[in-house]
Amino acid sequence: MKIELVENVLKANDELAALNRKQFSDAGVFCIDLLGGPGCGKTALIEATLQRIGYAGVIVGDLATQRDAERMARFTDQVVQINTGKGCHLEAHHVMRAMSRIDLSRIDFLFIENVGNLICPVGFDLGQHVKVGMFSTTGGDDKAAKHPYIVHESNLLLLNKIDLLRHVPFNLAVFRGDVRRLNPTVEMLELSALTGDGIEQWVAWIDQQREHWIGRKAVL
Amino acid sequence: MKIELVENVLKANDELAALNRKQFSDAGVFCIDLLGGPGCGKTALIEATLQRIGYAGVIVGDLATQRDAERMARFTDQVVQINTGKGCHLEAHHVMRAMSRIDLSRIDFLFIENVGNLICPVGFDLGQHVKVGMFSTTGGDDKAAKHPYIVHESNLLLLNKIDLLRHVPFNLAVFRGDVRRLNPTVEMLELSALTGDGIEQWVAWIDQQREHWIGRKAVL
């Protein structure tokens, strides 16, 4: 009974997600779902990215406050904040509703900043083209091993706050080894949203993925 | 239908939690549920605490791996690791089952390290005497405002990694102000599990709370 209910919820979510994805693809909008724990630097990364690419929109999920939307509104007017209350992840219907407030004809990229949570958002398709999982050096080198689900499901894994590496106990070889063991083919990038280290590689990855999924390059 | 199901799950959880709490109290074991996002330093804090207090046990929740239990087993033989798979929080039945592997007559304190998640664990009573919510300076000064539920529900809020304050963009006044606005009476402690700053105040708080809930001081 309980399992059936959960399956129905996921099935309904998948159907809406497929509609979202079709709408994004038809409009030539490449959509990224960015997932990571609270404080890993998702908002800072999107801010740094918006300063390097034009024509981008953001849908940002949080339990409460408009703070992230306010931060990103400095760089684009296509921003929608979703407050989930006690909800621990975004679902496809959130994104569908938020899309009605975004002019898809004016953007090439859409970033969905999921609720800060390494666990629950992973299982919900939102209609994105790619999922990007984010860790940080300050979160400890054991977090990939402890969160295998996000490592399996991500198209790209980011390790942020690489600038703080010398101040924290974090063994890069351990982290990389855990990722490789869990997902031998996933791409990895190390960067600092704060200092800008690695951001060019990240932007290049986005652009290349957009070409793959949408069929043409954006004007970067 | 869905709401009723959720209410039943929570009601069943509360009943088990009450049984757990009675068993802890009867055995003179003071129980702390430690909640915080992934990488905020929960394991490191418990490690630092175990080196200062004797007769303590730990129940630790993670999606995968035995790494935290192995870290804590260096300081006490009363450690149980729970792997939740894709489960985003501990529930009272997890704790009840783990208790059968802990000798309550040999401990004064029991730490439950919840799954690294600032959202989902908050709503589930495990049978603890107090809930302690944990943030970190590396997670950003906006995290209390974005997670009002844990600020409301905690008996004590910890701000960890205070040693990294000069390396990260974190405004202490903003963080403290958000906490006070959301919960004017909650106690707050700033500390570093790594350097030991503030750990004595934390241990004193635990000891004082044990006296309040259990009715007598432990031999620290």
Interface test with B, best of A60, A71, A81, A119 (most B CBs within 10 A): A119
| pLDDT computed for residue B1 by the predictor | 46
Phi-psi region for residue A65, left (φ > 0), alpha (ψ -120 to 50) or beta?
left
SS3 B30: strand
Q: How confident is the model at residue A1 (pLDDT cuts 50, 70, 90)?
A: very low
Residue pLDDT, tens place only, A130-147: 999 999 999 999 999 999
Contact list in B for residue A37 (CB cut-off 8 A) is 37-39, 116
- Give yes or no for A162 touching B (CB within 8 A): no
Question: Is residue A122 within 8 Å of residue B120, measured between CB atoms?
Answer: no
Separation CA B128–CA A141 (nearest Å): 29
Cβ within 8 Å of residue A135, ≥6 positions away: A36, A37, A40, A143, A144, A157, A158, A159, A160, A175
**Which strand ranges, in their side-by-side order, compose the sheet holding B156-160?**
B79-83, B56-62, B109-113, B30-36, B130-136, B156-160, B187-190
CA distance B169 to chain A (A): 9
CA A94 to chain centre: 15
Strands A56-62 and A79-83, sheet pairing: parallel
Q: Is B217 exposed, middle or buried (0-12, 13-18, 19+ CB in 10 A)?
A: exposed
Q: Mean pLDDT check: name the lowest of A4-8, A187-191, B72-76.
A: A4-8
CA distance B5 to chain A (A): 8
Separation CA A189–CA A208 (nearest Å): 14
CA A219 to chain centre: 22
- Give yes or no for B123 touching A (CB within 8 A): yes
Q: Do A39 and B138 touch (CB under 8 A)?
A: yes
Question: Is residue A126 within 8 Å of residue A46, measured between CB atoms?
Answer: no
Strand partners, A83: A62
Question: Is residue A186 within 8 Å of residue A157, measured between CB atoms?
Answer: yes
Q: How confident is the model at residue A8 (pLDDT cuts 50, 70, 90)?
A: confident
Which among B37, B86, B167 is the nearest to A39, CB-wise?
B37
Q: Searching chain A, which residue's CA lies closest to the CA of residue B142? A: A67
pLDDT tens string, chain B, 220 residues long: the values are 455 667 788 899 999 999 999 999 999 999 999 999 999 999 999 999 999 998 999 999 999 999 999 999 999 999 999 999 999 999 999 999 999 999 999 999 999 999 999 999 999 999 999 999 999 999 999 999 999 999 999 999 999 999 999 999 999 999 999 999 999 999 999 999 999 999 999 999 999 999 999 997 776 6
Given a cut of 90, whether residue A3 has pLDDT beyond it is: no
The secondary structure of A68-107, three-state, reads HHHHHCCCCCCEEEEECCCCCCCCHHHHHHHHCCCCHHHC
Given a cut of 60, whether residue A66 has pLDDT beyond it is: yes
The secondary structure of A112-142, three-state, reads EECCCCCCHHHHCCCCCCEEEEEEEHHHCCC
CA distance A63 to chain B (A): 6
Q: Do B149 and A2 touch (CB under 8 A)?
A: no
Please report where in the chains the tokens 């241990």 appear, as a residue. B203
Average pLDDT estimate for A91-112: 97
- Give yes or no for A42 touching B (CB within 8 A): no
| Angle (deg, nearest 10), helices B92-99 and B2-26 | 30
pTM of the model: 0.94
Strand partners, B135: B159
- Give yes or no for B220 touching A (CB within 8 A): no
- Give yes or no for A142 touching B (CB within 8 A): yes
ipTM here: 0.92
Contact list in B for residue A146 (CB cut-off 8 A) is 38, 62-65, 67, 116
| Angle (deg, nearest 10), helices B2-26 and A2-26 | 120
| In chain A, % of residues over pLDDT 90 | 93
Q: For residue B120, which amino acid is it?
A: C
Separation CA B192–CA A138 (nearest Å): 13
CA B184 to chain centre: 21
- Give yes or no for B151 touching A (CB within 8 A): no
Question: Is residue A29 within 8 Å of residue A104, measured between CB atoms?
Answer: yes
Which among A37, A122, A145 is the nearest to B116, CB-wise?
A37
Separation CA A95–CA B113 (nearest Å): 33
Longest dimension (CA), chain B: 51
Q: Do A39 and B149 touch (CB under 8 A)?
A: no
- Give yes or no for A65 touching B (CB within 8 A): yes
